[in-house]
Chain A
Amino acid sequence: MDPIRRSLLGQLAKLTAGAALVPLSSVASAGINDQPPRRGGDPEKRYGMLIDLRRCIGCQACTVSCHIENAAPLGNFRTVVSQFEVEHEETGELATFMLPRLCNHCENPPCVPVCPVQATFQRQDGIVVVDSDRCVGCAYCVNACPYDARFINPRTQTADKCTFCAHRLEANLLPACVESCVGGARIIGDMRDPQSEISQLIEQHRGELMVLKPEKNTLPQVFYLGMDERFTTRPDGIKPAIWDVANQNGKEIGYEFDGH
């Protein structure tokens, strides 16, 4: 990516993180593909997450604990930590970069208005959820999320995604990923409460926070601290390094890394 475009995107990332922090007044429904009214949840709260990348060690404890807590089927993840190996082109120096991904519980979630049966909706506390009894499994929301945060659960045949562990929050517990985070990188909390840890961290680092893919205008509510702006969008130079390994019958038996 050329430097001008990169720094522009970086600026955009920062600006949008700032704009996203100004709580939008609940958008009343009007035209097609506008956000429908929010329902359920505590209107006094707005949950958000801050991920301090400087503290993430890439241990995937969050991935595993989420997988167990939410009984996701094998191969599907509500949260995952992308690991990049970054090589400096001139010096050949190597570094790793960790990027935990999960649903951003966007302030302007494109996955919600597309749902034809109101099965996916945003609660008043900002959490985006799926009513799996109502979902018809059309997968429209899976395509509409720019972050690949959703999948069709092969067991329930309905849309599945991170809920910020809403069931745990209601019981005054932390989400599984936060609870298990070894580095203390994940901080969740009510952003409407100025005394909460997340509010104070946001206040403290306002200028440095970034969100993923700001250009999609989704206003993500998962904020990254210590982010390299090149990773906020679909990075041009990055290639996934995994190949499927299949047995003689073409059945997949594992992964192999490309030249590493």
Chain B
Amino acid sequence: MNSMAIEMLVPRYGIAWYPWAVQYFFLIALSYATLWLAVPGLIFGKKAWMPTARIAMLACVSTTLVGPVALLADLHQPLRFWHFYGYPAPWSWMSLGSFILPLYLGAVVVLAWMSWRPALKARSQHDDGWFSKVAGWLSWGHWEVPRPLMVLVGLGALALSLGIMVYTGAEVAIVRARPLWHTYWLPFAFVATGFIGACGLVMLLNRISQVRNAITNRQMFSVMIGACIAMGFIALTWFLDGVNAVDGSVAMALDSIKDSEQWRNTALWGGIAGIALFVIAIILRLRERLWGWGWLVGLLALHVAWMFRWVVLMDVQTVARNSAGYHNYDMAFGSYGLMGILGTFGLWIAAILLIDLFVPWRGNEARAITDKSSSSSDISTGAPSHG
């Protein structure tokens, strides 16, 4: 352009999706990814994966329960949520999602309940006062859940989780109006970063819950390395598609980085954090005596998974559509901003604590071992407690 233009008058365009949306995308990704981490132990009966499966199930149930709350809060008219079911729109990804989500939630809760039932029954026979009573109610009768039924429910939950992956990704990726979203690679990136975060969450819970299973950390390092490689591949392909002009979102991303220091910093930070995570995970995976530090890597992984969603969902909305530049979004301190984020996390922690209080999710065998390990002083190396 051989002329410079300045837009003298622009209305301020606010963002349309609030941080609640980030919370939902974060929690639901942790949910489906932890479900997959629970599968080898829980469904395919791999003994070595059983401790991981127990922790993953706790993570999965808590995120599955809290995620939809954040989603509801992102609606400006949350009380009208029944309209989703009263006026379905099968051509809308969001409408499809509104049907997949409750089915998925139901499947996850039933699966968890089936997996927790033996331990609940056992606890109901102890004399633990209220806890035994609650355990008795929760286990609901003395009959056995046939294993094939549990496998069936598990496979159903897995299938529905695929639906969640596809719909959450497609919902954002089809938005042509935001070139940074409009790429085939976005759904894959959501899934890969979801697995990175889920591995981190399992390691963190492994430590906090005092289970401290070293094998779990080893397994999580391996999966996380795989997810990092996948994410690197996705990012590279996205970029190559862009330079070959197949994908407009790359040109847009490069423009953003070129024009804005804030975007440059964010991109730099994301890149460094991702690569650092990858390298640290490899180093720790190779050194058994460092496995106890998994929880720290876990925190970094959760940060990467959350940041990715923040940048994609919030920062991208600030890119102006009718001119160059950005619309400022200063996070409000109300229920639309910071309080929303903290509130969701608070609810999530409360859910975990409640489950921890009333459900012996560590399983029957773990009881004796956790009792022992919590009294032991040298635990940071994490003694393997299971096969």
B3 at interface, CB cutoff 8 A: yes
B175 at interface, CB cutoff 8 A: yes
Complex contact B91–A33 (CB within 8 A): yes
Quote the shortest CB–CB distance from B333 to chain A (angstroms).
11
Instruction: Kindly state the separation between the CA atoms of A230 and B104 in the bound complex, as whole angstroms.
Output: 48
Complex contact A85–B8 (CB within 8 A): yes
Instruction: Kindly state the separation between the CA atoms of A183 and B290 in the bound complex, as whole angstroms.
Output: 75
Instruction: Kindly state the separation between the CA atoms of A34 and B321 in the bound complex, as whole angstroms.
Output: 23
B133 at interface, CB cutoff 8 A: no
Complex contact A139–B10 (CB within 8 A): no
**Chain B positions 71 through 87: 1 when the CB is less than 8 Å from some CB of chain A, otherwise 0:** 00011111011011011
Complex contact A82–B7 (CB within 8 A): yes
B69 at interface, CB cutoff 8 A: no
Query: If the complex has contacts A29-B91, A147-B321, are A97 and B83 also in contact, measured as CB distance less than 8 A?
Result: no
Quote the shortest CB–CB distance from A15 to chain B (angstroms).
18
Quote the shortest CB–CB distance from A175 to chain B (angstroms).
19
Complex contact B6–A85 (CB within 8 A): yes
User: Which residue in chain A gives the minimum CB-CB distance to B252?
Assistant: A234
Complex contact A84–B177 (CB within 8 A): no
- B residues near A134, Cβ cutoff 8 Å: 80, 83, 87
Interface size on B, residues (CB 8 A): 54
Query: If the complex has contacts A138-B75, A240-B7, are A234 and B323 also in contact, measured as CB distance less than 8 A?
Result: yes
* Contact among A113, A230, A242 for B92, CB-based, below 8 A: A113
**Chain A positions 108 through 143: 1 when the CB is less than 8 Å from some CB of chain B, otherwise 0:** 001001111111000000000000001111111011
Stretch at the interface among A44-52, A72-80, A162-170, A194-202: A72-80
Complex contact B9–A81 (CB within 8 A): yes
- A residues near B175, Cβ cutoff 8 Å: 110, 114, 143-144
Complex contact B3–A86 (CB within 8 A): yes
B244 at interface, CB cutoff 8 A: no
B273 at interface, CB cutoff 8 A: no
Complex contact B8–A75 (CB within 8 A): no
**Chain A positions 134 through 160: 1 when the CB is less than 8 Å from some CB of chain B, otherwise 0:** 111111101111111001100001100
**Chain B positions 166 through 179: 1 when the CB is less than 8 Å from some CB of chain A, otherwise 0:** 00001100111110
User: Which residue in chain B gives the minimum CB-CB distance to A101?
Assistant: B322
A260 at interface, CB cutoff 8 A: yes
Instruction: Kindly state the separation between the CA atoms of A202 and B9 in the bound complex, as whole angstroms.
Output: 29
B1 at interface, CB cutoff 8 A: yes
B223 at interface, CB cutoff 8 A: no
Complex contact A136–B84 (CB within 8 A): yes
Query: If the complex has contacts A85-B5, A152-B16, A260-B6, are A117 and B95 also in contact, measured as CB distance less than 8 A?
Result: yes
Instruction: Kindly state the separation between the CA atoms of A249 and B17 in the bound complex, as whole angstroms.
Output: 26
Stretch at the interface among A18-26, A87-95, A219-227: A87-95
A253 at interface, CB cutoff 8 A: no
Within 8 A of B (CB), among A210-247: 216-217, 230, 234-242, 244
Complex contact A135–B91 (CB within 8 A): no
A32 at interface, CB cutoff 8 A: yes
Complex contact A86–B8 (CB within 8 A): no
User: Which residue in chain A gives the minimum CB-CB distance to B181?
Assistant: A143
Instruction: Kindly state the separation between the CA atoms of A138 and B93 in the bound complex, as whole angstroms.
Output: 13
- B residues near A242, Cβ cutoff 8 Å: 8-10
B335 at interface, CB cutoff 8 A: no
Within 8 A of A (CB), among B1-46: 1-14, 16-17
Complex contact B16–A241 (CB within 8 A): no
Complex contact A75–B89 (CB within 8 A): no
Instruction: Kindly state the separation between the CA atoms of A75 and B95 in the bound complex, as whole angstroms.
Output: 30
- A residues near B381, Cβ cutoff 8 Å: none
Closest A-B pairs by Cβ, 9 of them: A137-B76, A146-B177, A139-B16, A142-B16, A116-B95, A116-B94, A157-B76, A137-B77, A117-B83
Interface residues of A, Cβ cutoff 8 Å to B: 1, 6, 29, 31-36, 75-77, 80-90, 96-97, 101, 110, 113-119, 134-140, 142-148, 151-152, 157-158, 216-217, 230, 234-242, 244, 257-258, 260
A sample of 23 cross-chain residue pairs with beta-carbon separation below 8 angstroms, ordered by A number, consists of: A75-B11, A82-B7, A84-B8, A87-B3, A87-B4, A89-B2, A114-B92, A115-B92, A117-B86, A117-B89, A135-B80, A136-B78, A140-B92, A143-B16, A143-B178, A144-B176, A146-B177, A152-B14, A157-B76, A217-B176, A238-B323, A238-B324, A241-B8
